[in-house]
């Protein structure tokens, strides 16, 4: 992409637009990306919503659907951004469909039919759909790994498929039993083993674990790496990995969602943690507060209100600008941008070593 196009994108981030899809506040202030709400405490936000949000809705789809949300993301060899979107059909079952864009913002070319459908005849764990993909490119394999949730009769479980072209898929099948979800692979081996972050649910609650495998099929050495807090914390109740971990020189930067149950329902917001680059089972820092939460109408109102839920990101050619793709209210796909450097600086100032026991 030419340098002037990056400038145009930068000017669009947070700018006001006359063709916004959503109204103004009663006080006349526009609901645009940099509008400061009371919840932001008038500090510069870490994430900036794109002025064209939501970037994908059901109205964009070439066939009838209920909603589009929770998209995995990657940059293809030709430089295009691919979003592998969760599509909920009008039965309530989900499948995956790819959308491609030259700039990762607009001009999306959407597959005319579902890209990856559930296959319950051969993979019975996919009986009620496949959901929430996370994409990791695996250089050693020359393939993209798609870790997704299979909605089985026994509950959600973690499944894996490999692809080179997002047209044909080599399904590995379920690699973690129910109830488990919110999983993503690291892009390279740690020693001799692949590493998987995931969120099983058990008697002790819903926390983030890591597991290791020599072949992507047989998993062991399970370790609890980040616990949901208790009580009044924003991430009390349950937590889960959001997009795949981001590799930085300082470690694996993880954006995770925390779910706080309130009298009005659940709130899904994002926090951060940093894990050791060579020992990803060791948490170095964990942020104390949430950094991104539902504020705009497309995040606060939808099939599930008050949800921001990222499953994918891309890093721009400068190596620092993060494009975060997230589901808004389980109804649309939206985009926010951030600086990886500033995220790490915030974590240094607002994080602390993760507690070994539940806080």
Secondary structure string (H, E, C) spanning the chain: CCHHHHHHHHHHECCCCCCCCCCCCCCCCCCCCCCCCHHHCCCCCCCEEECCCCCECHHHCCCCCCEEEEEEEEECCCCCEEEEEEEECCCCCEEEEEEEECCCCCCCEECCCCCECCCCCCCHHHCCEEEEEEEEEECCCCEEEEEEEEEECCEEEEEEEEECCCCCCEEEEEEECCCEEEEEECCCCECCEEEEEEEEEECCEECEEEEEECCCCCCEEEEEEECCECCCCCCECEEEECCCCEEECCEEEEEEEEEEEECCEEEEEEEEEEECCCCCCCEEEEECCCCECCCCHHHHCCCCCCEEEEEEEEECCCCCEEEEEEEECCCEEEEEEEEHHHHHHHHHHHEECCCCCCC
Between 355 and 237, residue with greater pLDDT = 237
pLDDT tens, position by position, 20-74? 344 333 333 333 334 334 444 457 899 999 999 999 999 999 999 999 999 999 9
Contact 124, 169 (CB under 8 A): no
The span from the CA of 336 to the CA of 322, in Å, is 8
> How far are the Cα atoms of 34, 105, 282, 338 from residue 49, in angstroms, in the given order?
7, 12, 31, 9
Residue with tokens 């974590």: 347
pLDDT tens, position by position, 249-271? 999 999 999 999 888 888 999 99
Whole-number pLDDT of residue 359 = 54
Contact 219, 211 (CB under 8 A): yes
How many other C-beta atoms lie within 10 A of the C-beta of residue 304?
Answer: 17
The span from the CA of 34 to the CA of 187, in Å, is 33
Is the pLDDT at 356 greater than 70? The verdict is no
How many other C-beta atoms lie within 10 A of the C-beta of residue 180?
Answer: 23
Whole-number pLDDT of residue 263 = 83
pLDDT tens, position by position, 267-306? 999 999 999 999 999 999 999 999 999 999 999 999 999 9
Whole-number mean pLDDT of the chain? 89
Whole-number pLDDT of residue 355 = 61
Is the pLDDT at 8 greater than 50? The verdict is no
Whole-number pLDDT of residue 42 = 55
Question: How large is the average pLDDT for residues 227-251?
Answer: 96
Is the pLDDT at 336 greater than 80? The verdict is yes
At 91, list the tokens: 């039965």
DSSP-derived pairing of the beta strands 194-202 and 332-339: unpaired
At 116, list the tokens: 């990856």
Is the pLDDT at 4 greater than 50? The verdict is no
Is the pLDDT at 2 greater than 60? The verdict is no
Question: How large is the average pLDDT for residues 1-26?
Answer: 38
Question: How large is the average pLDDT for residues 224-253?
Answer: 96
pLDDT tens, position by position, 197-228? 999 998 889 999 999 999 999 999 999 999 99
Whole-number pLDDT of residue 262 = 87
Whole-number pLDDT of residue 39 = 42
Whole-number pLDDT of residue 335 = 99
Whole-number pLDDT of residue 203 = 87
- Spatial neighbors of 344 by CB under 8 A, at least 6 apart, are 248, 250, 253, 274
pLDDT tens, position by position, 113-142? 999 999 999 999 999 999 999 999 999 999
Whole-number pLDDT of residue 108 = 98
Confidence label for 13 from pLDDT (cuts 50, 70 and 90): very low
The span from the CA of 129 to the CA of 150, in Å, is 6
Confidence label for 7 from pLDDT (cuts 50, 70 and 90): very low
The span from the CA of 305 to the CA of 267, in Å, is 8
Whole-number pLDDT of residue 251 = 98
The span from the CA of 87 to the CA of 46, in Å, is 29
Determine the distance from the C-alpha atom of residue 208 to the mean position of all C-alpha atoms in its chain, rounded to a whole number.
15
The span from the CA of 357 to the CA of 88, in Å, is 38
At 113, list the tokens: 């039919």
């Amino acid at each position: 992409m030419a340098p002037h196009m990056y400038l145009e994108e930068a000017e669009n981030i947070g700018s006001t637009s006359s063709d916004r899809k959503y109204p103004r506040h009663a006080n006349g202030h526009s609901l645009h990306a940099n509008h400061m709400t009371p919840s932001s405490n008038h500090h510069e936000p870490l994430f900036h919503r794109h002025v064209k949000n939501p970037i994908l809705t059901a109205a964009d789809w070439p066939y009838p659907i209920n909603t589009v949300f929770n998209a995995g993301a990657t940059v293809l060899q030709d430089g295009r951004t691919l979003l592998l979107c969760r599509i909920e059909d009008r039965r309530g079952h989900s499948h995956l469909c790819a959308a491609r864009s030259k700039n990762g913002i607009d001009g999306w070319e959407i597959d005319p039919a579902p890209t990856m459908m559930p296959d319950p005849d051969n993979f019975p764990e996919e009986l009620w759909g496949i959901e929430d993909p996370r994409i990791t490119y695996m250089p050693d394999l020359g393939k993209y790994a798609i870790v997704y949730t299979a909605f089985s009769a026994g509950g959600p479980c973690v499944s894996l498929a490999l692809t080179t072209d997002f047209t044909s898929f080599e399904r590995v099948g379920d690699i973690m039993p129910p109830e488990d979800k919110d999983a993503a692979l690291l892009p390279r081996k740690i020693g001799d083993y692949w590493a998987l972050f995931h969120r099983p649910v058990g008697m002790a609650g819903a926390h983030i674990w890591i597991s290791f495998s020599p072949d992507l099929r047989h998993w062991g050495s399970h370790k609890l790496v980040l616990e949901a807090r208790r009580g009044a914390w924003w991430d009390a109740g349950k937590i889960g990995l959001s997009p795949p971990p981001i590799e930085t020189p300082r470690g694996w930067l993880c954006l995770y969602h925390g779910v706080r149950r309130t009298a009005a329902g659940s709130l899904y917001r994002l926090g951060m943690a940093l894990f050791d680059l060579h020992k990803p089972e060791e948490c170095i820092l964990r942020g104390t507060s949430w950094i991104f939460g539902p504020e705009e109408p497309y995040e606060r109102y939808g099939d599930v209100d008050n949800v921001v839920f990222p499953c994918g990101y891309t890093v721009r050619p400068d190596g620092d600008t993060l494009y975060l793709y997230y589901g808004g209210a389980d109804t649309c796909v939206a985009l926010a941008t951030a600086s990886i450097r500033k995220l790490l600086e915030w974590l240094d100032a607002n994080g602390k070593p993760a507690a070994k026991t539940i806080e």
